[in-house]
A and B are shown apart, each in its own frame.
Chain A
């Protein structure tokens, strides 16, 4: 027997990481997969209902209805709507905080880094204002105003932010959203006990929530952040556990709200603060990227080279990042902060601080982000992190993995930076698609989970399959973290691409997988798609474009997915979203959706089969466009 906590860890696409985790002396989520391997079939199918005291009711051949009379279709779609509403709420929370941050920065005449984006937004929103700060404030106000509308008043920016054919389609289907926050409210009311029992009606609500989530939670969050945090610039940067430099006081950041970190991150590079670090024996401070907020820093890394060395890994890498011993504090503000990090933080004396109470961790100190008092709160946090560093360094064992990951990983890709890279317009990309050098585009997005083959296993296998078929892959979310740590975002990865895509990559010096950053940047992918469609004069469902949330994990991913469906895109999922117990839900999502929005859900857990199906769809769309 040895020191390993347990040898039955799940597989990871990232083999060195798999090996590292298997040898850890502490438990991680990778260890816990085994113990949870027998899943309740009722849960998997979504046919367990706990909405009232008569329950839990479960659907079986001999009991096809719950006590109240709800059948599988009602139970499943209620559960799904509940999940989508919840997921939407998460993203709306993010955009609300982001808009408030822009407003506060503008009001206090703070730095506006993304002037181009500000102008772009102001022009889309029809805001005419010369003063930069006033313009930014007006933009933020416009977004906030929409978010706070009642459910019965349609949001104002939806039409301005949408591609016209899509907007018309949504209007026709009656799924234009009212105030985004109110829509969440509406959704959770609808799926409560003994209210709605109409599966199709509830599925349409899911689409409506998808639209508000996508346009506000995703697209606008990115653009608002670009205004104050700086626009992405294409560059190469390191990824993986190698980014942890033990000579520094290291703060791992988790969550989705980059705007909450900017003040701290700027302060950490001020000479007086660095001097504090030096006194404690460190060279200074570093933020270590983890989960989507890490991806967001990575994406905008060109602006933060001093404080940020790179993205270490996705949600299910977070425990390993901590286990290196090189992290002195975790500052979290939103989800993908696994409860499983808590015992590890305790064991390795890592200080946990939470700056948004929606994500308060049990062992963390809550220091709510407060724009007005942020200087004082930031000083407190800095002192606590230094204290943690001093207390733990020397006594806590280091278990670094300095060769993990890759040094030259392409990052900073956005709808703007990519277009700039291509020469200022999409024509080169369209030409490549038309010529067939790039057969199609796949957005492989969303999370990472441990059950679709293991940690990032399906995602990475699917990406390899797709690029081998000359389909270029764009990523956003924790999927990016896994894919990049497996080396697929380095230029050398072009060797995995099919001959045509490989030639394209080699001539441009880019990898066959382009990372747009956090899951929020799914919104950026959709801007790219929309701009391509506009350029071609077609609607989105006609594009040779597919989406895959191969290893979707969370309710947020389901809300994202609904946006994809509302946009009319084919959406692949590796695991079913607990709906297969309902024939109606399956029929609507996988078949009828094609007639409703043009989208469809494809559920398949096998990388090759999934790639076959997605390639087939791409080929059909190409045929439809006569290319």
Chain B
């Protein structure tokens, strides 16, 4: 499978990845120049965490081999695609119980900020050809895709 690999010591915390993610998943049309940065609907699915020493730790969905989110999903909304190995989320089926949020040991998942009814989850930019926008936007190559 293809996975977004991370070399966290290269991360400069610029959040270009987050902006790219917001842009890739916005509902309306447009370019990054007109992306509404203040609309809570435009949520990034990746996060730049800071540890207690102030170092940046990029938090990106691993699309785990044995995904806890899928294992805890009671609606069938989260599924691991056997071909790509990626974990996909079906908003229509989701029962908004957020057991996946609780069960992702790395805390990658979150409920959506507007309605608390959907899960904010990386889709590997499958609708854009499966090339993650975050990776393309990273100026330091702290994140990159590899076949693993």
On chain A, the residues within 8 Å of B141 by CB distance are 60, 62
In the complex, 10 of the A-B residue pairs with CB atoms within 8 angstroms, ordered by the A residue number, are A37-B50, A40-B12, A40-B13, A41-B14, A42-B12, A42-B14, A42-B139, A44-B13, A61-B140, A62-B140
Closest chain B CB from A253 CB (angstroms): 32
What mask results when residues 46 to 64 of chain A are scored 1 for a CB within 8 Å of chain B, else 0? 0000000000001011110
> What is the CA–CA distance of A39 and B11 in the complex, to the nearest angstrom?
11
Chain A nearest Cβ from B107, distance in angstroms: 15
* B56 on interface, CB distance cutoff 8 Å: yes
Once bound together, how far apart are the Cα atoms of A88 and B4, in whole Å?
47
Contact of B140 among A38, A39, A44, A60 (CB under 8 A): A60
Total count of chain B residues near the partner, CB < 8 A: 12
Question: Given that A37-B50, A38-B50 are known contacts, is A63 also in contact with B15, CB under 8 Å in the complex?
Answer: no
Q: Contact: A38 with B48, CB < 8 Å?
A: yes
B binding-site residues for A, Cβ under 8 Å: 11-15, 48-50, 56, 139-141
In the complex, chain A residues 385-433 whose Cβ is within 8 Å of any chain B Cβ: none
How many chain A residues sit at the interface, stated as a range, is: 10 to 19
**CA–CA, A144 to B14, complex, Å?**
44
A60 touching B139 by the CB < 8 A rule? yes
Cross-chain contact of A58 among B11, B50, B56, B139 (Cβ < 8 A): B139
Total inter-chain residue pairs, C-beta < 8 Å? 32
Are A41's CB and B50's CB within 8 A?
A: no
List A residues at the B interface (Cβ < 8 Å).
Answer: 37-44, 58, 60-63
Chain B: minimal CB distance from A454 (Å): 14
Residues of A within 8 A of B15 (CB): 38, 40
- Smallest CB-CB separation from A40: which chain B residue? B14
CA distance A37 to B15 in the complex (A): 12
Closest 4 CB pairs of A and B: A41-B12, A40-B14, A60-B140, A38-B48
- Evaluate contact between A38 and B139: CB separation under 8 angstroms: no
CA A558 to CA B11, docked complex, whole Å: 28
How far apart sit A614 and B130, CA to CA, in the bound complex (Å)? 55
Distance in Å from the Cβ of B97 to the closest Cβ of chain A?
Answer: 22
Nearest chain A CB to B133 CB, angstrom units: 18
A79 to chain B, nearest CB (A): 16
Besides the known contacts A41-B11, A62-B141, 18 further A-B residue pairs in the complex with CB atoms under 8 A apart: A37-B50, A38-B15, A38-B49, A38-B56, A40-B12, A40-B13, A40-B15, A41-B13, A41-B14, A41-B56, A42-B12, A42-B139, A43-B14, A60-B12, A60-B139, A60-B141, A61-B140, A63-B139
Q: Quick one: closest A residue to B47, CB to CB?
A: A38
Distance in angstroms between the alpha carbons of A39 and B56 in the assembled complex: 9
Identify the interface centre among A38, A40, A44: most chain B CB within 10 Å of its CB: A38
CA distance A147 to B6 in the complex (A): 55
CB-CB < 8 A to A61: which residues of B? 140
Taking CB atoms, residues of chain B closer than 8 Å to A38 are 13, 15, 48-50, 56
Complex-state Cα separation, A37 to B14, whole angstroms: 12
**Which residues of the other chain, A, contact B50 by a CB distance below 8 angstroms?**
37-38
A39, B15: Cα distance in complex, Å = 9
Distance of A258 Cα from B107 Cα, bound (Å): 52
Closest chain B residue to A48 by CB distance? B14
Which residues of A lie under 8 Å from residue B48 when comparing CB positions? 38
Q: Please report the C-alpha to C-alpha distance between residue A62 and residue B14 in the assembled complex, in whole angstroms.
A: 16
